[in-house]
Protein backbone atom coordinates (compact mmCIF):
# COMPACT_ATOMS: atom_id res chain seq x y z
CA UNK A 1 0.00 0.00 0.00
CA UNK A 2 1.84 3.07 -1.22
CA UNK A 3 -0.70 5.71 -2.16
CA UNK A 4 -4.37 4.85 -1.74
CA UNK A 5 -7.20 7.12 -2.78
CA UNK A 6 -10.17 5.55 -1.08
CA UNK A 7 -13.75 6.43 -2.02
CA UNK A 8 -12.78 10.06 -2.33
CA UNK A 9 -15.54 12.61 -2.72
CA UNK A 10 -15.27 16.37 -3.11
CA UNK A 11 -18.49 18.29 -3.23
CA UNK A 12 -18.73 22.01 -3.98
CA UNK A 13 -22.27 23.08 -3.08
CA UNK A 14 -24.47 20.97 -5.32
CA UNK A 15 -21.63 19.84 -7.56
CA UNK A 16 -19.90 16.52 -7.05
CA UNK A 17 -16.52 17.37 -8.58
CA UNK A 18 -15.09 14.04 -7.40
CA UNK A 19 -17.56 11.24 -6.78
CA UNK A 20 -16.47 8.21 -4.77
CA UNK A 21 -13.18 7.67 -6.57
CA UNK A 22 -10.72 4.97 -5.52
CA UNK A 23 -7.29 4.74 -7.11
CA UNK A 24 -4.31 2.74 -5.95
CA UNK A 25 -0.92 4.07 -7.01
CA UNK A 26 2.11 1.85 -6.90
CA UNK A 27 5.50 2.99 -5.72
CA UNK A 28 7.98 3.94 -8.42
CA UNK A 29 5.42 3.98 -11.25
CA UNK A 30 3.98 6.61 -13.53
CA UNK A 31 0.21 6.55 -13.02
CA UNK A 32 -1.93 8.52 -15.46
CA UNK A 33 -5.17 10.35 -14.67
CA UNK A 34 -7.17 11.35 -17.71
CA UNK A 35 -10.67 12.54 -18.48
CA UNK A 36 -12.53 15.32 -20.27
CA UNK A 37 -12.32 18.90 -19.03
CA UNK A 38 -14.15 19.36 -15.75
CA UNK A 39 -14.04 15.67 -14.87
CA UNK A 40 -12.32 16.31 -11.52
CA UNK A 41 -8.63 15.68 -12.21
CA UNK A 42 -7.25 18.91 -10.76
CA UNK A 43 -9.64 18.64 -7.83
CA UNK A 44 -8.13 15.25 -6.95
CA UNK A 45 -4.68 16.88 -7.04
CA UNK A 46 -5.94 19.71 -4.85
CA UNK A 47 -7.16 17.20 -2.29
CA UNK A 48 -3.94 15.18 -2.49
CA UNK A 49 -1.82 18.25 -1.91
CA UNK A 50 -3.89 19.46 1.04
CA UNK A 51 -5.54 22.39 -0.68
CA UNK A 52 -9.01 20.95 -0.01
CA UNK A 53 -10.26 18.71 2.75
CA UNK A 54 -12.36 16.03 1.04
CA UNK A 55 -16.06 15.88 1.85
CA UNK A 56 -15.91 12.09 1.77
CA UNK A 57 -13.44 9.22 1.72
CA UNK A 58 -9.76 9.47 2.44
CA UNK A 59 -6.24 9.32 1.07
CA UNK A 60 -3.59 7.24 2.75
CA UNK A 61 0.09 7.30 2.06
CA UNK A 62 2.48 4.65 3.31
CA UNK A 63 -0.21 3.43 5.69
CA UNK A 64 -1.09 6.80 7.18
CA UNK A 65 -4.15 8.94 6.46
CA UNK A 66 -3.01 12.22 4.92
CA UNK A 67 -6.26 13.68 3.57
CA UNK A 68 -7.36 16.67 5.60
CA UNK A 69 -3.84 17.45 6.79
CA UNK A 70 -2.61 20.98 6.11
CA UNK A 71 -0.62 21.37 2.89
CA UNK A 72 2.73 21.85 4.63
CA UNK A 73 2.35 18.51 6.41
CA UNK A 74 1.52 16.81 3.13
CA UNK A 75 4.64 18.36 1.60
CA UNK A 76 6.62 17.10 4.58
CA UNK A 77 5.14 13.62 4.07
CA UNK A 78 6.71 13.62 0.59
CA UNK A 79 4.35 15.26 -1.89
CA UNK A 80 5.17 17.91 -4.46
CA UNK A 81 3.26 19.23 -7.44
CA UNK A 82 3.22 21.43 -10.46
CA UNK A 83 0.19 23.45 -11.50
CA UNK A 84 -1.97 23.51 -14.60
CA UNK A 85 -1.21 27.22 -14.75
CA UNK A 86 2.40 27.68 -13.93
CA UNK A 87 3.22 29.40 -10.66
CA UNK A 88 6.88 30.34 -10.66
CA UNK A 89 8.00 33.22 -8.48
CA UNK A 90 8.18 36.03 -10.98
CA UNK A 91 10.74 38.29 -9.35
CA UNK A 92 13.19 35.47 -8.62
CA UNK A 93 15.89 33.81 -10.63
CA UNK A 94 15.60 30.18 -11.65
CA UNK A 95 18.00 29.16 -8.86
CA UNK A 96 16.17 31.25 -6.26
CA UNK A 97 12.90 29.56 -7.18
CA UNK A 98 14.46 26.25 -6.14
CA UNK A 99 16.20 27.57 -3.04
CA UNK A 100 12.94 28.96 -1.71
CA UNK A 101 11.23 25.61 -2.26
CA UNK A 102 14.03 23.90 -0.33
CA UNK A 103 13.21 26.01 2.70
CA UNK A 104 16.68 27.48 2.49
CA UNK A 105 15.67 30.72 4.14
CA UNK A 106 13.76 28.98 6.89
CA UNK A 107 16.74 26.82 7.84
CA UNK A 108 19.42 29.45 7.85
CA UNK A 109 18.21 31.94 10.43
CA UNK A 110 19.74 35.33 11.05
CA UNK A 111 20.98 34.37 14.51
CA UNK A 112 22.78 31.35 13.11
CA UNK A 113 24.28 33.56 10.48
CA UNK A 114 25.71 35.89 13.13
CA UNK A 115 26.91 33.10 15.45
CA UNK A 116 28.31 30.73 12.87
CA UNK A 117 28.81 32.29 9.44
CA UNK A 118 31.10 29.51 8.21
CA UNK A 119 28.55 26.79 8.96
CA UNK A 120 25.88 28.86 7.28
CA UNK A 121 28.04 29.22 4.24
CA UNK A 122 28.56 25.44 4.10
CA UNK A 123 24.85 24.86 4.46
CA UNK A 124 24.12 27.34 1.70
CA UNK A 125 26.61 25.65 -0.59
CA UNK A 126 24.87 22.31 -0.12
CA UNK A 127 21.52 23.81 -1.06
CA UNK A 128 22.94 25.49 -4.13
CA UNK A 129 24.69 22.28 -5.22
CA UNK A 130 21.49 20.26 -4.84
CA UNK A 131 19.50 22.89 -6.75
CA UNK A 132 22.07 22.97 -9.54
CA UNK A 133 21.96 19.17 -9.81
CA UNK A 134 18.21 19.30 -10.32
CA UNK A 135 18.46 22.13 -12.85
CA UNK A 136 21.06 20.07 -14.66
CA UNK A 137 18.76 17.02 -14.65
CA UNK A 138 15.99 19.15 -16.17
CA UNK A 139 18.48 20.68 -18.60
CA UNK A 140 17.98 24.28 -17.51
CA UNK A 141 21.17 24.76 -15.46
CA UNK A 142 22.46 27.32 -17.98
CA UNK A 143 19.63 29.65 -16.98
CA UNK A 144 20.19 29.42 -13.19
CA UNK A 145 20.77 33.14 -12.77
CA UNK A 146 18.16 34.39 -15.22
CA UNK A 147 14.80 35.67 -14.06
CA UNK A 148 12.54 32.60 -14.13
CA UNK A 149 9.85 34.35 -16.15
CA UNK A 150 12.31 35.53 -18.80
CA UNK A 151 12.75 31.94 -20.01
CA UNK A 152 10.80 30.44 -22.92
CA UNK A 153 7.62 28.71 -21.79
CA UNK A 154 8.90 25.15 -22.22
CA UNK A 155 11.94 25.94 -20.08
CA UNK A 156 9.80 27.53 -17.38
CA UNK A 157 7.83 24.30 -17.14
CA UNK A 158 11.12 22.46 -16.57
CA UNK A 159 12.08 24.88 -13.84
CA UNK A 160 8.70 24.29 -12.23
CA UNK A 161 9.40 20.56 -12.24
CA UNK A 162 12.89 21.07 -10.82
CA UNK A 163 11.37 23.21 -8.09
CA UNK A 164 8.86 20.48 -7.24
CA UNK A 165 11.73 17.98 -7.00
CA UNK A 166 13.69 20.33 -4.76
CA UNK A 167 11.65 19.28 -1.72
CA UNK A 168 12.83 15.67 -2.21
CA UNK A 169 9.35 14.30 -2.81
CA UNK A 170 8.38 10.64 -2.87
CA UNK A 171 5.41 11.50 -5.08
CA UNK A 172 5.13 14.25 -7.65
CA UNK A 173 1.77 15.40 -9.02
CA UNK A 174 2.04 16.87 -12.51
CA UNK A 175 -1.00 18.73 -13.82
CA UNK A 176 -0.89 18.85 -17.63
CA UNK A 177 2.87 19.30 -18.02
CA UNK A 178 2.66 19.01 -21.82
CA UNK A 179 0.07 21.77 -22.21
CA UNK A 180 1.47 24.49 -24.45
CA UNK A 181 4.53 22.47 -25.47
CA UNK A 182 5.42 21.78 -29.09
CA UNK A 183 6.18 18.31 -30.40
CA UNK A 184 9.93 18.48 -29.73
CA UNK A 185 9.40 19.81 -26.22
CA UNK A 186 6.84 17.08 -25.55
CA UNK A 187 9.31 14.43 -26.61
CA UNK A 188 11.87 15.98 -24.23
CA UNK A 189 9.24 15.94 -21.51
CA UNK A 190 8.67 12.23 -22.11
CA UNK A 191 12.36 11.56 -21.46
CA UNK A 192 12.32 13.84 -18.43
CA UNK A 193 9.38 11.97 -16.92
CA UNK A 194 11.26 8.70 -17.27
CA UNK A 195 14.35 10.27 -15.69
CA UNK A 196 12.30 11.49 -12.73
CA UNK A 197 10.75 8.06 -12.33
CA UNK A 198 14.19 6.49 -12.46
CA UNK A 199 15.21 8.66 -9.52
CA UNK A 200 12.63 6.65 -7.58
CA UNK A 201 9.98 9.36 -7.54
CA UNK A 202 6.44 8.11 -8.13
CA UNK A 203 4.60 10.22 -10.70
CA UNK A 204 0.87 10.89 -10.77
CA UNK A 205 0.28 12.47 -14.16
CA UNK A 206 -2.73 14.44 -15.37
CA UNK A 207 -2.32 14.97 -19.09
CA UNK A 208 -4.39 15.54 -22.21
CA UNK A 209 -1.70 14.43 -24.64
CA UNK A 210 -2.85 10.84 -25.11
CA UNK A 211 0.24 9.77 -26.99
CA UNK A 212 2.44 10.87 -24.10
CA UNK A 213 0.17 9.29 -21.50
CA UNK A 214 0.08 5.99 -23.36
CA UNK A 215 3.85 5.97 -23.77
CA UNK A 216 4.90 6.65 -20.19
CA UNK A 217 2.14 5.40 -17.89
CA UNK A 218 2.14 1.89 -16.54
CA UNK A 219 -1.45 2.36 -15.45
CA UNK A 220 -4.12 4.91 -16.29
CA UNK A 221 -7.33 5.86 -14.46
CA UNK A 222 -10.10 7.55 -16.42
CA UNK A 223 -12.53 10.05 -14.94
CA UNK A 224 -15.78 11.37 -16.33
CA UNK A 225 -18.08 13.74 -14.44
CA UNK A 226 -16.15 13.09 -11.23
CA UNK A 227 -16.43 9.32 -11.43
CA UNK A 228 -13.82 6.74 -12.29
CA UNK A 229 -15.10 5.02 -15.42
CA UNK A 230 -12.13 2.86 -16.39
CA UNK A 231 -8.65 1.84 -15.35
CA UNK A 232 -5.85 -0.21 -16.80
CA UNK A 233 -2.96 -0.15 -19.22
CA UNK A 234 -2.96 2.28 -22.12
CA UNK A 235 -3.67 -0.54 -24.52
CA UNK A 236 -6.71 -1.67 -22.51
CA UNK A 237 -8.32 1.70 -21.90
CA UNK A 238 -7.83 2.97 -25.45
CA UNK A 239 -10.05 0.10 -26.63
CA UNK A 240 -12.61 0.52 -23.85
CA UNK A 241 -15.96 1.64 -25.34
CA UNK A 242 -16.86 3.50 -22.13
CA UNK A 243 -13.70 5.59 -22.45
CA UNK A 244 -14.19 6.24 -26.14
CA UNK A 245 -17.76 7.34 -25.42
CA UNK A 246 -16.62 9.78 -22.72
CA UNK A 247 -14.22 11.44 -25.10
CA UNK A 248 -16.64 11.64 -28.05
CA UNK A 249 -18.27 15.00 -28.30
CA UNK A 250 -15.90 16.41 -25.72
CA UNK A 251 -15.41 19.51 -27.84
CA UNK A 252 -19.11 20.22 -28.43
CA UNK A 253 -20.44 19.36 -24.98
CA UNK A 254 -18.06 21.01 -22.56
Site membership for ligand ADP, residue 157 (CB under 6 A)? no
Residue among 144 and 223 whose Cβ is closer to ligand ADP: 223
Pick from 251, 165, 207, 193: nearest CA to 42? 207
Residue among 32 and 35 whose Cβ is closer to ligand ADP: 35
Site membership for ligand ADP, residue 56 (CB under 6 A)? no
Site membership for ligand ADP, residue 37 (CB under 6 A)? yes
Site membership for ligand ADP, residue 40 (CB under 6 A)? yes
Using alpha carbons only, give the angle 45, 1, 193 rounded to the nearest 5 degrees: 50
3-state class (DSSP) for residue 137: helix
- Cβ proximity of 161 and 138 under 8 Å: yes
Residue among 101 and 222 whose Cβ is closer to ligand ADP: 222
How many other C-beta atoms are found inside a 10 Å radius of the C-beta of residue 40?
26
Site membership for ligand ADP, residue 35 (CB under 6 A)? yes
Out of 31, 33, 34, 42, the only residue in the binding site for Mg ion (CB under 5 A) is 42
Residues 231 and 124: their CA atoms lie apart, in Å, by 45
Out of 28, 38, 154, 232, the only residue in the binding site for ligand ADP (CB under 6 A) is 38
Out of 19, 31, 32, 39, the only residue in the binding site for ligand ADP (CB under 6 A) is 39
Residue among 148 and 206 whose Cβ is closer to ligand ADP: 206
Out of 31, 41, 81, 104, the only residue in the binding site for ligand ADP (CB under 6 A) is 41
Site membership for ligand ADP, residue 153 (CB under 6 A)? no
Residue among 38 and 68 whose Cβ is closer to ligand ADP: 38
Residues 1 and 25: their CA atoms lie apart, in Å, by 8
Q: Show the beta-strand stretches assigned E in the chain.
A: 3-12, 15-25, 30-34, 56-61, 64-65, 79-81, 171-175, 202-206, 219-224, 227-232
* CA distances for 85 relative to 21, 156, 169, angstroms: 24, 11, 21
3-state helix, strand and coil shares in percent for the chain, rounded to the nearest 5: 45, 25, 30
Nearest distance, CB of residue 43 and Mg ion, angstroms: 8
Residue range at the interface with ligand ADP (CB under 6 A); choices 10-18, 75-83, 108-116, 179-187: 10-18
Beta bridge partners of 79: 171
Q: Under the rule (CB under 6 A), what is the footprint of ligand ADP?
A: 12, 15, 17, 35, 37-43
Q: Under the rule (CB under 5 A), what is the footprint of Mg ion?
A: 41-42, 84
Amino acid sequence: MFLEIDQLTMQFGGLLAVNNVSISIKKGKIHGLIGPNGSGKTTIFNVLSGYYKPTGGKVSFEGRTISGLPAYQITAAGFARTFQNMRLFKTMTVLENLLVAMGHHAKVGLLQEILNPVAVHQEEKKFVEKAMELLDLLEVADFANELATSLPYGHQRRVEMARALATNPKVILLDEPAAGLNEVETEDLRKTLLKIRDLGVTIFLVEHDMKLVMEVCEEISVLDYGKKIAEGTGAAISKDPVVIEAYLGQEEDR
